[in-house]
Amino acid sequence: MNFVFTGKRLAGLLTVLPANERKFVDDMRNFDFPESRSLKLKAVMGYDRHRVVAEGVCVSDLAVFGMRSLFDRGLLGPDDFDALVLVTQTPDYFMPPTSNVIQGRLRLKHDLFCLDINQGCAGFLVGLIESFLLLEQPSIRRVVLINGDVVSRKVSMKDRNSYPLIGDALSITVLDKSPDAPPIHANLQMNGEKCEALMIPAGGFRTPSSPETALLRDVGDNNHRSQDHLVMDGTAVFNFVQLEVPPMIDRLLEFAGATRESIDYYLFHQPNRFMLQKLADKMQVPYAKMPSNVVEHFGNASGVTIPTNIAFNLGNTVTSTRYAACLAGFGVGLTWSSMLLQLGPLDFCELIDF
Amino acid sequence: MSPILALLAQKLEVDALDRNAVLADFPEWDSLTVLAFLAAAHAEYGVTVESEEIARIETAGDLEDLIQSKRQSHG
């Protein structure tokens, strides 16, 4: 499905990264693989280091830290915004919503629409679409979109399939009305039949957590994980990305009446460098236009890889430059979504450490 | 060796590969090699292979036949 939004802009972006960094060569000691094979994996997939939270750190901790940083520096006022949209798959609690937890910790006004959205790899896009929909309301002057996850806490350190590439992060994006802004075009599709390609099997109500679900098992490929841990079918995800993403971008360009040549950057979700380069090859996009370096520096923090991609690769220039950007997220759900927009000049665009 | 076996041999880091070779006997036949081979087969031949199909493969010949049958049925 297609969306078009007028009179709106992305005003500012802050990414919060846990200072705690782990290196692949240290992670390797936990894997049940010969070191030479693991080093081969590192080279082919493009792994090096990733940021993971210290024990006990939750999404609201990262969010409150980031929001206070913006308040303290006058980049955002606590009463400026009328909606707080939080996209996360690792909430502080099942109940209450983590957006309310954040609202409470920051003592924000009561006239605030707080909303949790359970979305992953395409979560930043889904959050943007929801935020722009909210901005259509006269009473909503500004939306703060927070996208954060601490999924490392749900990944087995003995799972070489997942652990090396997972990262934790949180981003805060300010979305404003802007009468002269050029239109923003987006599209979105979902396929629930393939929802098991990326999942955490136990811990919800279908299979509640128990001593049984916590047992680590060799799943048959020398990777050890429990039912409480994240499991990703690499082959299924690779096939899905190759099959669905290129036509999605073609449809978006057609809908927007735009050409490939007009796009300055493809700022995509970062599953890993290998998958992104194969995607760039298939789409015939030069690697320079489709950055793929987030996982090797910070890890894959689900939806947050897109704002991290922007802040890390364009942070120095996007505050003074206007870019024609194509964003895309694809993964959990399965969900795939893309957006064409003018990115910049932003009021602020930073990476800070928690 | 046929082109498909040659591609597989390259991913397994061996100089020669027989159709009867049992893939599980190669230490290099892990999830990374599977992904690298499937990515190369997709780029080269335009075929898509699902993880369930890979799970049923035993020999190099089985894999060659799978890729060939997909090329013929164009998918």
Q: What is the pLDDT of residues A111-141, one digit of tens each?
A: 999 999 999 999 999 999 999 999 999 999 9
Confidence of residue A84 (pLDDT cuts 50, 70, 90): very high
Residue with tokens 């950057």: A265
Whether the upstream peptide bond of residue A96 has omega within 30° of 0, thus cis, is: yes
CA distance A239 to chain B (A): 7
ipTM over 0.90: no
Integer Cα distance of B71 and A87 in angstroms: 41
Contacts of A31 in chain B (CB under 8 A): none
Interface test with A, best of B26, B28, B35 (most A CBs within 10 A): B35
Integer Cα distance of A65 and A106 in angstroms: 10
For A219-231, give one letter per residue: b (16+ CB within 10 A) or e. Answer: eeebbbbbbbbbb
Other residues' Cβ atoms within 10 Å of the Cβ of residue A74: 7
For residue A170, the 8-state DSSP code is E
Of the candidates B30, B43, B51, which has its C-beta nearest A235's C-beta? Answer: B51
Contacts of B54 in chain A (CB under 8 A): 235
Percent of residues, chain A, with pLDDT higher than 70: 100
Cross-chain residue pair B32–A222, CB shorter than 8 Å: no
Residues A154-182 have pLDDT tens digits of 999 999 999 999 999 999 999 999 999 99
pLDDT of residue A87: 98
Cross-chain residue pair B48–A278, CB shorter than 8 Å: no
pLDDT at residue B75 greater than cutoff 60: no
Cβ(A175)–Cβ(A135) below 8 Å:
yes
Cross-chain residue pair B43–A41, CB shorter than 8 Å: no
Cross-chain residue pair A239–B54, CB shorter than 8 Å: no
Q: Which range, A152-156, B8-12, B69-73, is most confident?
A: A152-156
User: What are residue A72's phi and psi, to 5 degrees?
Assistant: -60, -30
For A192-215, give one letter per residue: b (16+ CB within 10 A) or e. Answer: eeeeebbebbbbeeeeeeeeeeee
Closest CA to A87 of A134, A121, A130, A123: A123
Residue scoring higher pLDDT (A89 or B54):
A89
Global model pTM greater than 0.90: yes
Closest CA to A175 of A130, A138, A142, A140: A142
Please check whether residue B51 touches A, CB under 8 A. Answer: yes
Angle at A339 between CA A127 and CA A98, to 5 degrees: 10
CA distances from A328 to A247, A290, A308, B18 (A): 12, 11, 13, 42
Residue scoring higher pLDDT (A133 or B27):
A133
pLDDT of residue B73: 81
Average per-residue pLDDT in chain A?
Answer: 97
State the DSSP string of chain B.
--HHHHHHHHHHT-S---TT-BGGG-TT-SHHHHHHHHHHHHHHH-----HHHHHT--BHHHHHHHHHHHHHTT-
Cross-chain residue pair B43–A282, CB shorter than 8 Å: yes
Residue scoring higher pLDDT (A309 or B12):
A309
Read off the pLDDT of each residue in A7-36 and give the average, rounded to a whole number. Answer: 96
Integer Cα distance of A207 and A223 in angstroms: 22
Closest CA to A221 of A11, A84, A41, A348: A41
Of the candidates A37, A235, A242, which has its C-beta nearest B50's C-beta? Answer: A235
Confidence of residue B74 (pLDDT cuts 50, 70, 90): low
Please check whether residue B34 touches A, CB under 8 A. Answer: yes
Residues A218-274 have pLDDT tens digits of 987 889 999 999 999 999 999 999 999 999 999 999 999 999 999 999 999 999 999
Read off the pLDDT of each residue in B19-42 and give the average, rounded to a whole number. Answer: 90
Cβ(A334)–Cβ(A245) below 8 Å:
no
Please check whether residue B30 touches A, CB under 8 A. Answer: yes
A 161-200 residues with CB below 8 A of B?
161
Angle at A293 between CA A270 and CA A117, to 5 degrees: 30
Integer Cα distance of A171 and A214 in angstroms: 31
- Where do runs of H (alpha helix) occur along chain A? 24-27, 35-45, 59-72, 98-105, 123-135, 234-256, 273-283, 294-298, 305-314
CA distance A243 to chain B (A): 9
pLDDT of residue B72: 86
Cross-chain residue pair B30–A222, CB shorter than 8 Å: yes
pLDDT of residue B50: 87
In A168-277, the DSSP E strands lie at 169-177, 184-190, 198-199, 217-218, 224-225, 231-232, 265-268
Contacts of A34 in chain B (CB under 8 A): 27
